[in-house]
Structure 1
Amino acid sequence: MTDSLVLEQLEQALRIPIIDGMHAQGDLLVIPARLLDEVAPRPNALWRYVPPGGVEVLRGPAGGNPHTLVAEPGSCRWTTELYDPAGLALGMFVASTVAYLMHPEHGATGSAPGAYVIRRQRENSNFGARLVVD
Structure 2
Amino acid sequence: MTMTMPLTLADLTGRTGLTVLDHLEQQVRIPVLDGLQAQGDLIVVPLAVLDDVHLAAQARWRPVPPEGVELLRGAAGGNPHTLVAEPGDARWTTDVTDPERLAVGVLRCTGPTYLVHPEHGGSGVAPGTYLVRRQRERSTGWGGGDFLVAD
TM-score by length of 2: 0.78
Considering only CA atoms, is the larger Rg found in Structure 1 or Structure 2?
1
Q: How many residues align?
A: 125
- Name the residue aligned to 1:6: none
1:14 Cα deviation after fit: 3.7
Aligned-residue CA RMSD in angstroms?
1.6
Unmatched 5+ residue regions in structure 1? 1-9
1:40 Cα deviation after fit: 2.4
- Name the residue aligned to 1:80: 94
The one of 128, 134, 147 aligned to 1:120:
134
- Name the residue aligned to 1:132: 149
1:37 Cα deviation after fit: 1.2
Q: Distance in 2 between matches of 1:36 and 1:66?
A: 26
Q: Which segments of structure 1 move beyond 4 Å, counting only runs of 4 or more?
A: none
Unmatched 5+ residue regions in structure 2? 1-9, 12-25
1:53 Cα deviation after fit: 1.5
- Name the residue aligned to 2:41: 27
Identity %: 58
The one of 64, 82, 90 aligned to 2:104:
90
**Does 2:71 correspond to 1:57?**
yes
SS at match of 1:13: coil
Q: Distance in 2 between matches of 1:85 and 1:63?
A: 26
1:98 Cα deviation after fit: 0.6
Name the amino acid aligned to 1:120: R
Q: Deviations over 1:1-36 (max 9, x none)?
A: xxxxxxxxx898241011110011011110001011
Name the amino acid aligned to 2:125: S
Q: Distance in 1 between matches of 2:131 and 2:149?
A: 17
1:68 Cα deviation after fit: 0.4
